[in-house]
């Protein structure tokens, strides 16, 4: 069986490029391992399985958020950006301005160390680290912000190297037009650069305050919100780019709509970033009512880019499968290579995105956001996106990328194929418990919600669900990580040749003109789910004997 | 390549418009938003400009004839 272009392209990279990518993905896997361990500890503490005390409990919660949301997701993106840019732009490509990429990676690692020191040595500030929570400047607080600033500076350097990687073949007149993945990589790198600027805008004044050089910033939350919005968007944009690449690897399928529409779909991602950002401000008491309404309306467009790319990918797969004899409305899904670990991870990522996406729409409506934002609804739903969608997708990519850069066969592909289902089972327990807990008012960032026995008994049961789901997720992810570490580090070095993962080669035949309904039906189902959960949220909250006063100028 | 430039210029225009809105309309007054979207718009304008420069450069020799596309450039 022929190795996919991704693996083959990575194998042809210069040794220096491979070393860079190995260090980058190694750092990503270490960050994810630490984040998963701290996450399991946090979930166990909330469930009452372990008694870590408030200080260590919040330290674990902080370390969990910082390791995963900032470092795992961005080390992984840095490596994938460079890998895709080098492999897909031109045959025999390589990473341009490699010393700059090394500088960026070293700076990101320094940021990771600084953040780790801050979490261990200082007050646990949680991952958003508001200066008000720190209270007074200190070296540990300064290290927290400096860690984020180093991460941003490193990302800037890596992104510039990524842009140079894609541009250099154009300057060298080796190509006349970019493939879709190269165009998407430029947009992705551009958004990484913008996010570095947003991080500078958010954290530099706070770092200066923490070093005793200036007063406490008064508008930290605005800077945080705009950065946080980018940090929502970037991993999702990366996710759909990875899907686009992996669909070629597992099924040999390219977009049936052509390069032009695919590039427009990725450009829409960038176009929709700023207009959909206002919903993060819904908890700010001074926001004008008209801005809330406009923000609520614009927020409805937030899923348009993801849904557009999803439709392109699903329709392309379905059309090719029907050309190869698929029958029935969903019969084509069964023809996909489900024994491929990347396919299994992508499949579960799509399911989790639908669930997380439906719940996210509940939260971006200005009337309901203030009622749910500080409840466990938030971690309950966003783990479907961070773990179930983005992390599973990045792990799927590593199933191809790591064998490509190391020359090792993937460790136990059969087991890795089963793990996404196991992880999703844990996620469903965690998410169902968390979302229900949120609807019932369980606070988000309170480790012990028993309130000396005065809290409803159901809260304790739901927290046990959080703990059980969290432990299952962690077990699945740690096993996956072990497999990827075994693939990355010197192992029984079997050559990749002959070790290709199960796949189908539908792209060899020109697809016939046929109808593809699965994509549009999926979107219809998603819209229905969004409407249902929104209505449910309003029903349940209106039944509460409480009034929320935060966002309506009530204080 | 032209469509790449056009798409990035559209991104620049939307971001710049939003940055101006956040900077000038009192109801939206959020300097933090304005700074980030404003600088961001310039990033995408710069990217479009660099692609435009690459497109206009003449090939130094016939060693690598223009017209070659990357793997699966039609649709990839």
Find, among A207, A191, A188, A82, the residue nearest to A150 by Cα.
A207
CA angle A83, A421, A63 (to 5 degrees): 65
Cα–chain center distance at A400: 18
CB within 8 Å: A175 and B50: no
Of residues B51, B48, B47, B13, the one with CA closest to residue A271: B13
Cβ distance of B32 and A271 shorter than 8 Å:
no
Low-confidence ranges of chain A (pLDDT < 70): 1-2, 491-499, 540-541, 544-555
Q: Which chain B residue has its CA at the smallest distance from A264's CA?
A: B7
Q: For residue range A59-99, what is the model confidence (pLDDT) as tens digits?
A: 999 999 999 999 999 999 999 999 999 999 998 889 999 99
Domain that residue B38 falls in: 2-46
Interchain proximity A180–B75, CB inside 8 Å = yes
pLDDT tens figures, A307-349: 888 888 888 899 888 888 888 888 889 999 999 999 999 999 9
Is A298:A275 a contact under the CB 8 Å cutoff?
yes
Q: What is the pLDDT of residues A261-271, one digit of tens each?
A: 899 989 998 99
- Residue among A163, A179, A187 whose CB faces B76 most closely: A179
Q: At what angle do helices A392-406 and A15-47 cross, to 10 degrees?
A: 150
pLDDT of residue B74: 40
| A-interface mutation test, from B5, B60, B71, most A Cβ less than 10 A away | B71
Specify if B68 maps to a domain.
no
Terminal-to-terminal C-alpha distance of chain A: 66
The verdict on residue B73 lying in a domain is: no
Q: What's the CATH number for A5-542?
A: 1.20.210.10
Flag whether B59 is in a domain. Answer: no
The verdict on residue B55 lying in a domain is: no
Nearest to B47 by CA among A97, A183, A507: A183
Give this prediction's pTM. Answer: 0.92
Q: Give chain B's domain count.
A: 1
ipTM of the complex model? 0.88
Half-sphere exposure (CA, 13 Å, Cβ side) for A192?
A: 34
The size of the A-B interface in CB pairs under 8 A is 150
């Amino acid at each position: 069986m022929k190795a996919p272009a991704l693996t083959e392209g990575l194998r042809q990279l210069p040794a220096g490029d491979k070393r860079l990518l190995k260090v980058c993905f190694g750092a990503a896997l270490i960050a994810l391992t630490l984040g998963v361990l701290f996450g399991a500890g946090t979930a166990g503490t909330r469930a009452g399985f372990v008694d870590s005390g408030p200080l260590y409990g919040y330290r674990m919660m902080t370390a969990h958020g910082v390791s995963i949301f900032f470092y795992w997701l961005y080390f992984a993106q840095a490596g994938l950006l460079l890998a895709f840019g080098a492999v897909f732009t031109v045959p025999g490509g390589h990473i341009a301005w490699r010393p700059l990429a090394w500088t960026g990676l070293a700076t990101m690692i320094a940021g990771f160390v600084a953040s780790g020191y801050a979490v261990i040595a200082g007050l646990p500030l949680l991952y958003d680290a508001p200066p008000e929570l720190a209270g007074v400047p200190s070296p540990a607080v300064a290290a927290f912000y400096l860690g984020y600033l180093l991460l941003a500076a490193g990302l800037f350097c890596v992104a510039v190297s990524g842009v140079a990687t894609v541009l250099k073949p154009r300057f060298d007149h080796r190509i006349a037009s970019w493939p879709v993945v190269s165009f998407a990589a430029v947009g992705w790198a551009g958004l990484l650069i913008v996010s570095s600027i947003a991080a500078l805008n958010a954290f530099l004044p706070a770092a200066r305050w923490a070093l005793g050089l200036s007063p406490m910033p008064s508008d930290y939350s605005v800077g945080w919100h705009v950065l946080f919005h980018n940090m929502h968007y970037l991993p999702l944009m990366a996710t759909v780019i990875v899907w686009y690449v992996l669909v070629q690897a597992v099924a040999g399928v390219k977009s049936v709509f052509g390069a032009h529409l695919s590039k427009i779909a990725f450009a829409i991602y960038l176009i929709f970033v700023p207009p959909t950002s206002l919903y993060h401000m819904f908890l700010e008491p001074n926001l004008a009512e008209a801005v809330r309404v406009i923000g609520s309306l614009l927020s409805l467009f937030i899923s348009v880019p993801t849904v557009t790319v999803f439709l392109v990918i699903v329709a392309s797969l379905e059309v090719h499968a029907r050309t190869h004899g698929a029958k029935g409305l969903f019969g084509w899904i069964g023809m996909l290579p489900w024994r491929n670990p990347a396919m299994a991870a992508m499949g579960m990522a799509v399911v989790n995105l639908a669930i997380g996406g439906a719940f996210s729409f509940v939260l971006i409506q200005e009337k309901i956001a203030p009622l749910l934002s500080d409840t466990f609804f938030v971690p309950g739903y966003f783990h479907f996106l961070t773990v179930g969608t983005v992390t599973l997708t990045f792990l799927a990519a590593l199933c191809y990328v790591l064998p490509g850069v190391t020359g090792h066969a993937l460790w136990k592909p059969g087991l890795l194929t089963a793990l996404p289902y196991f992880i999703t089972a844990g996620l469903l327990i965690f998410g169902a418990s968390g979302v229900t807990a949120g609807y019932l008012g369980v606070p988000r960032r309170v480790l012990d919600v028993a309130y000396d026995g005065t809290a409803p008994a159901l809260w304790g049961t739901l927290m046990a669900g959080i703990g059980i789901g969290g432990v299952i997720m962690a077990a699945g992810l740690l096993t996956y990580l072990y497999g990827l570490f075994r693939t990355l580090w010197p192992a029984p070095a079997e050559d990749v040749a002959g070790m290709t993962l199960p796949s189908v080669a539908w792209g060899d035949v020109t697809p016939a003109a046929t109808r593809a309904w699965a994509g549009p039906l999926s979107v219809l189902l998603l819209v229905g789910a969004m409407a249902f959960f929104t209505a449910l949220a309003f029903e349940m909250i209106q039944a509460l004997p409480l009034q929320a006063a935060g966002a309506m100028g009530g204080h | 390549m032209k469509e790449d430039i056009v798409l990035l210029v559209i991104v620049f225009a939307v971001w710049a418009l939003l940055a101006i809105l956040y900077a000038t309309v009192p109801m939206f007054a959020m300097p933090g938003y304005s700074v980030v979207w404003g600088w961001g718009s310039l990033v995408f304008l710069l990217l479009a400009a660099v692609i435009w420069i690459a497109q206009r450069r003449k090939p130094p020799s016939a060693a690598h004839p223009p017209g070659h596309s990357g793997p699966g450039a039609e649709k990839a």
